[in-house]
Amino acid sequence: MNTPNSTLALNSTFVRPQFFYISGLSNLPNAKYYYVFLCFVYVVTILGNSFILFIIYMERSLHTPKYVAVCNLAIVDVCSSTAIIPKLIDTFLFDSQFIRYEACLANMCLVHFFSSLQSLILVVLAYDRFVAICFPLRYHTIITNTSMVVIIAVMWTITALMAITATLLFTRLYFCRSIVINSYFCDYGPAIHLACNDNYVNVIMGTLGITIFSVASVAVIALSYVCIIFALLKIATQEGRLKAIQTCTSHLILVAIFYFPICVTYIATLSSTIHPNARIINTSLACVIPPMLNPIIYSLKTEEIMSTIKKLYRKRNTLNSHGTE
């Protein structure tokens, strides 16, 4: 049986391969159990985020700018997991590691698009908390449903343009040595380093993406919380400070869950050689675990969501009790 690279080597003048080969986890015993675990993660993600969307839709008091952003996060979480997990399961559980060139481009574009959007939405939520705590009297004039929708629309447009541009730039690359992508999907970074021609523009584009959607996003969120801390110090009562902090806890947990694994991977890659399996597990978990946990965190840590759940539960019990009379 030919290996992916030996198949490609039959034609030394190859420019654009018909397919790529996704390597995934290599020489790892019982790796399929990991992919089965991702099936469970996907089901919980869909159910949890659908529940959050239902709660926000049903409760008119949650039709506020903050929950416009939370609703958008839930939609992006569902789309992000759908772009990654079903294809990943098909690839490795059903031994379909060859992926056509066009399908690879689509997978690459969608995964990076939705992952980048997740990062920007966390920035938007940080902005919402910054205005709410630092400018409480002006909050409802600065942040309205209309302004939040405009911000989110601009964010989707910019992210889409960058993802499409990066994908189009990928089509200029020639491949003559290898078609094996050492990742769990058609990952832009590992794929561009397989090219035989100059990939400098692609490297710049990838670096720009990391800078905007990771480094700059973390910096903006950190700066917003520095301002929030200074604003909290001006609050006279400890009870007032605690109440203000509680409005930020859900967002801080989401930020930690989303960025910590990514930062660990980048630091490990820069400081030493990280094993491919460790990198794949870490980055895949960083992509699929936050969308699963986000609705759970918002349900448990947000007072408005919990109040709405209790209200709907009491209403349901009341209807059931009247129905049995």
C-alpha angle 279-115-45 in degrees, rounded to nearest 5: 90
Does residue 160 come out as left (phi exceeding 0), alpha (psi in the -120 to 50 range) or beta?
A: alpha
- In CATH, the architecture of 17-324 is Up-down Bundle (1.20)
Q: In the chain, what are the domain boundaries?
A: 17-324
Query: For residue range 260-289, what is the model confidence (pLDDT) as tens digits?
Result: 877 777 777 666 677 778 888 888 888 899
Reported as a single tens digit per residue, the pLDDT across 200-227 is: 999 999 999 989 998 899 999 999 999 9
Nearest to 298 by CA among 243, 242, 253: 253
Q: Where are the beta strands (DSSP E) in 131-233?
A: 180-181
Q: How confident is the model at residue 76 (pLDDT cuts 50, 70, 90)?
A: very high
The pTM assigned to this predicted structure is 0.87
Between β-strands 19-22 and 180-181, what pairing exists: parallel, antiparallel or unpaired?
Answer: parallel
DSSP notation for 274-290: PPHHHHHHHHHHHHHHH
pLDDT band at 40 (very low <50, low <70, confident <90, very high): very high
Reported in sequence order, the residue ranges of the chain that DSSP labels E, i.e. its strands, are: 19-22, 98-100, 180-181
CA distance 154 to 147: 11
- The 8-class DSSP code of residue 194 comes to T
Q: What does the pLDDT read at residue 11?
A: 46
User: In the chain, how many H helices and how many E strands?
Assistant: 12, 3
